[in-house]
Amino acid sequence: MTNNNIDLLIVDDDRDILFQSKVFFEKSGYSVVTADSQQEAQMYLETEKPDVAIFDLMMENDDSGFILSYLLKRKYPEVPVIILTAVASETGVAFSLGSPSEREWIKADAYFEKGTELKAIDTQIRKFLGKTDE
């Protein structure tokens, strides 16, 4: 399956994760744009619309990923948002998207802990876009 012409925005302040994710998703056929801060992502979103966005939660602010999700969904409600974070392992605070109220305030379509295989995230992206294995 090819993912040509699918623009994927990945935002994380961990440059190793950005690099690994960019390489993986480009090999999977996506067009990948990366940003290493909330501010850089906000500037990108002022003029561009990704097909899917992956946001780290804690960057320059503890809730940077939530802020980006909110801003993106306000402008482009149809764009799927994935939160990829280590918040549970770093803080002990866990959350999910299991209830409508959690999905309402989190403004994300999927949540993964860092360390999740990128292939699982790719599978979720394909589900969002209606692309399944042929």
**Residue boundaries of the structural domains of the chain:** 7-128
Share of the chain above pLDDT 90, in %: 58
Q: Which fold has domain 7-128?
A: Rossmann fold (3.40.50)
- The tens digit of pLDDT for each residue in 88-122 reads 445 445 555 455 555 454 567 888 888 889 999 99
Beta bridge partners of 35: 11
Residue 32 has which token pair?
């990948």
pLDDT at 134: 45
Q: Is 83 exposed, middle or buried (0-12, 13-18, 19+ CB in 10 A)?
A: buried
